Amino acid sequence: MINIVLFGPPGSGKGTQAQHLIEKFNLKQISTGDLFRYNMKNNTELGKLAKSYIDKGELVPDKVTIDMLIDELRKPTETNGFIFDGFPRTANQTEALETIVKDELGAEISICLSLVVEDEVLVQRLLKRGETSGRTDDSNEDIIRNRIKEYYTKTAEVAELYKKQGKYVEVNGIGEISEISEKLFAEVEKIK
Ligand code: UDP
Ligand code: MG
């Protein structure tokens, strides 16, 4: 299996690049953010709970997110592997993911691909996305800045854990979308 953690701050292009990676390598994407938005749209209990954090630009608590991820991974699918998009977001989630991937799939995380984009570019991209996405967390600069702050205080340390395992690769996330995809593909080819 190829199991990819697609990593980077909000607005770094994870969702876009995940689409290209799943097509290229026949993978299944699991985006915890998309799962939360699906639940919010359908007004489930999980959705209501998640909304109370997401609307402030905060992270949803680990337990809630991890349980949702386990449910998703248990759904039967035919795939060469998974792309985890926007997860893990804390050190605790990183450790949990290692166990879950081992227990549920008998596999490991192969690589952590990290998209690097500077903060001011992120803010501009997210404000632009907010014009059409309908996402409340993209609509306001203060919420966007809080998401970036959460990234530095809670999520950036995820990179350190994958660095220690020798699985961490950075790719410049600014440039043509197709060029960035090619760079990501090349990194996956190296470990195939
Ligand atoms: N979120 C979270 N845990 C996750 C994924 C998402 O808490 O594992 C919440 C968090 O509030 C985040 C929001 O959902 O700001 C949107 O996340 P998503 O990954 O969809 O957006 P992105 O950061 O990629 O723009
Ligand atoms: Mg996303």
pLDDT tier, 34 (very low <50, low <70, confident <90, very high otherwise): very high
Q: What is the DSSP string of 97-132?
A: HHHHHHHHHS----EEEEEE--HHHHHHHHHHHHHH
Atom of ligand 1 nearest to the CA of 126: 25
What tokens appear for 4 in the block? 């990819």
- Taken in order of first residue, the domains within the chain and their CATH numbers are 2-26+82-185 (3.40.50.300)
* HSE-CB of 45 using CA atoms within 13 angstroms: 2
Q: What is the pLDDT of residues 48-69, one digit of tens each?
A: 999 999 999 999 999 999 999 9
pLDDT at 96: 98
- Nearest residue to 168 (alpha-carbon basis) of 181, 153, 156, 150: 156
Q: What is the pLDDT of residues 122-153, one digit of tens each?
A: 999 999 999 999 999 999 999 999 999 999 99
Mutate to test the pocket of ligand 1, among 17, 31, 36 (most ligand atoms within 8 A of CB): 36
CB atoms within 10 A of CB 159: 17
User: Which ligand has the nearest atom to the CA of 32?
Assistant: 1
Q: What is the pLDDT of residues 59-114, one digit of tens each?
A: 999 999 999 999 999 999 999 999 999 999 999 999 999 999 999 999 999 999 99
